[in-house]
C-alpha cells in the first residue's frame, strides 16, 4: 500500500508547490531583510513547511486557522496572496495590513487565515473562539491553532484545551515542536518527551507525528478534522520538526544549537522527501520539477516587483485602523 494513500498525484504536486513557495518566499525575505529592504522582524519557517501544508491540505477554505510569529508558511498554505504578503513585509500600503504590521501581522479573513500573532500562545485563545463560533454556526467548520513547543508551556494552551475538550469544540491544536523556544531548548522547560501526552490531561486524543513527513501530517490532520467535524471534539497533534535558520533573521542572531544537529535535520528535508516519493511513485519527473521551480520563482519576482513599486503608508495614516476596547 503506498504511503500516499488517499492523496492523488495532483494533490501531492500541489503540496510540493506550496512547500517550495514557502521556502523560496522566505529565502527571498531573508535576503531582502538583510539587505535592509524589509523592516521589523522576520522569523523563518524553513524546514517546517510540511506541517503548515500538510495540515492546511486537510482543510476547506472556509475553515479557520491562526498562526504565530513564524507565520509565512501558514499564510501561504491557507492560500494567501504572495503580492500582498510581500508588500506587507516591505511595509507598503498595498500589504495585508497596509504596511503597518510587517511579517508578524498577516491576516486574510476571506481565506480563513485569522492572523499571525507576535504574542506567544496568544493565537491559541483567539482561534478557540473561532472554534466556538464554528460550533455555533453549525455548518461543520473547523478551527486550527498552530503554535510552538514554547507556547505549549503557557497558560492559554492549557485553558483552551480544557474548555475546547469540555465543550467538544471542532478544533485541531497543532504543536510545531522544533525543539527550541527562541534560544532555549525544549528539554529545559518541560519534562515530557512528547508534548502530545498533555492531551490526556484534558481527555482528548494526542498524536505524535513526524512533522517532516507531509503525508503523515496530512493523514493525521485529516483524521482529526473528520473527528472535529463529526462533533467528537478537539485533538492535539504534535509535529516533530526543526527550523533550519536562527530564531529570527537579525544579523549575528545568537544560535546555541550544535552545527551537527542542524545538519542532521537538513538531511531530513521535507521538500526533498516528498519530491523523492513522488518521483518513485511516477507522480513527478525532472521536467515537471524544473517547471514548478521556474513558476514559483516567477510568482515571487512578481510579488517583489509589486511590493517595490507600491507606496509607503503616509505618516498621517498611522492612527487609522487602530482599535482599543
Ligand X SMILES: Cc1ncc(C[n+]2csc(CCOP(=O)(O)OP(=O)(O)O)c2C)c(N)n1
CA distance 61 to 84: 18
Q: Calculate the CA dihedral of residues 46, 49, 50, 54 and round it to 10 degrees.
A: 170
Chain position carrying cell 495532483: 10
- Single out the segment in contact with ligand X by CB under 6 A; choices: 8-16, 81-89, 117-125, 187-195: 117-125
The residues near 280 (Cβ < 8 Å, ≥ 6 apart) are none
Does 94 interact with ligand X (rule: CB under 6 A)?
no
Q: Which is nearer to ligand X, 118 or 205 (CB)?
A: 118
- Single out the segment in contact with Mg ion by CB under 5 A; choices: 124-132, 181-189, 213-221, 245-253: 181-189
CA distance 217 to 53: 9
Does 148 interact with Mg ion (rule: CB under 5 A)?
yes
| Residues 292 and 13: beta-carbon distance below 8 Å | yes
Q: From the list 23, 28, 64, 70, which residue makes contact with ligand X (rule: CB under 6 A)? A: 70
CA distance 143 to 228: 9
Helices 286-309 and 9-34, axial angle in degrees (round to 10): 40
Task: For the CB of residue 182, give the shortest distance to ligand X in the complex, in Å.
Answer: 4
Task: For the CB of residue 151, give the shortest distance to ligand X in the complex, in Å.
Answer: 4
Q: Which is nearer to Mg ion, 89 or 121 (CB)?
A: 121
| Residue 136 burial (10 A CB sphere; 0-12, 13-18, 19+) | exposed
Q: Residue with the closest Cβ to ligand X?
A: 148
Q: From the list 4, 103, 135, 178, which residue makes contact with ligand X (rule: CB under 6 A)? A: 178
State the cell numbers at 243.
527550523
Does 119 interact with ligand X (rule: CB under 6 A)?
yes
- Single out the segment in contact with Mg ion by CB under 5 A; choices: 140-148, 191-199, 225-233, 269-277: 140-148
- Single out the segment in contact with Mg ion by CB under 5 A; choices: 17-25, 149-157, 198-206, 282-290: 149-157
Q: Which is nearer to Mg ion, 181 or 215 (CB)?
A: 181
State the cell numbers at 81.
496572496
State the cell numbers at 168.
467538544
CA distance 38 to 303: 14
Task: For the CB of residue 179, give the shortest distance to ligand X in the complex, in Å.
Answer: 8
The residues near 85 (Cβ < 8 Å, ≥ 6 apart) are 25, 72, 75, 76, 95, 96, 106, 303
* From ligand X, Mg ion, none, interface partner of 151 (C-beta below 5 to 8 A by class): ligand X
Q: From the list 54, 71, 141, 148, which residue makes contact with ligand X (rule: CB under 6 A)? A: 148
Does 150 interact with ligand X (rule: CB under 6 A)?
yes
Cβ count near 318 (within 10 Å): 10
Task: For the CB of residue 58, give the shortest distance to Mg ion in the complex, in Å.
Answer: 22
Q: From the list 4, 178, 241, 310, which residue makes contact with Mg ion (rule: CB under 5 A)? A: 178
Q: Which is nearer to ligand X, 182 or 297 (CB)?
A: 182
Question: Whose CA is closest to 242, among 68, 46, 54, 57?
Answer: 46
Q: Residue with the closest Cβ to Mg ion?
A: 148
Instruction: Give me the residues that bind ligand X (CB under 6 A), please.
Output: 68-70, 118-120, 148-151, 176, 178, 180-182
Instruction: Give me the residues that bind Mg ion (CB under 5 A), please.
Output: 148-150, 178, 181
Amino acid at each position: 500500500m503506498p504511503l500516499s494513500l488517499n492523496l492523488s498525484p495532483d494533490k501531492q504536486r500541489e503540496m510540493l508547490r506550496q512547500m517550495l513557495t514557502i521556502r523560496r518566499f522566505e529565502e527571498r525575505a531573508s535576503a531582502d531583510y538583510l539587505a535592509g529592504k524589509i523592516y521589523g522582524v522576520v522569523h523563518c519557517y524553513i524546514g517546517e513547511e510540511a506541517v503548515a501544508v500538510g495540515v492546511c491540505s486537510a482543510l476547506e477554505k472556509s475553515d479557520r486557522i491562526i498562526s504565530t510569529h513564524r507565520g509565512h508558511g501558514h499564510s501561504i498554505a491557507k492560500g494567501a496572496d504572495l503580492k500582498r504578503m510581500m508588500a506587507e513585509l516591505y511595509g507598503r500600503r498595498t500589504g495585508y495590513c497596509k504596511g503597518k504590521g510587517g511579517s508578524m501581522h498577516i491576516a486574510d479573513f476571506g481565506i480563513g487565515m485569522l492572523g499571525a500573532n507576535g504574542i506567544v500562545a496568544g493565537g491559541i485563545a483567539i482561534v478557540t473562539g473561532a472554534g466556538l463560533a464554528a460550533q455555533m454556526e453549525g455548518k461543520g467548520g473547523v478551527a486550527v491553532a498552530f503554535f510552538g513547543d514554547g507556547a505549549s508551556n503557557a497558560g492559554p494552551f492549557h485553558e483552551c484545551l480544557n474548555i475546547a475538550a469540555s465543550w467538544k469544540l471542532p478544533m485541531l491544536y497543532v504543536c510545531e515542536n522544533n525543539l527550541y523556544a527562541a534560544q532555549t531548548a525544549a528539554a529545559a522547560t518541560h519534562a515530557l518527551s512528547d508534548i502530545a501526552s498533555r492531551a490526556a490531561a484534558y481527555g482528548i486524543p494526542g498524536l505524535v507525528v513526524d512533522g517532516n513527513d507531509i503525508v503523515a501530517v496530512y493523514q493525521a490532520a485529516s483524521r482529526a478534522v473528520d473527528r472535529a467535524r463529526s462533533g467528537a471534539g478537539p485533538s492535539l497533534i504534535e509535529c516533530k520538526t526543526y527550523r533550519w535558520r536562527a530564531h529570527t533573521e537579525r544579523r549575528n542572531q545568537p544560535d546555541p544549537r550544535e552545527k551537527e544537529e542542524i545538519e542532521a535535520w537538513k538531511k531530513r528535508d521535507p521538500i526533498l522527501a516528498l519530491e523523492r516519493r513522488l518521483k518513485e511513485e511516477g507522480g513527478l519527473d525532472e521536467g515537471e520539477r524544473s517547471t514548478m521551480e521556474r513558476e514559483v520563482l516567477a510568482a515571487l519576482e512578481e510579488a517583489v516587483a509589486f511590493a517595490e513599486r507600491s507606496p509607503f503608508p503616509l505618516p498621517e495614516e498611522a492612527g487609522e485602523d487602530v482599535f482599543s476596547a
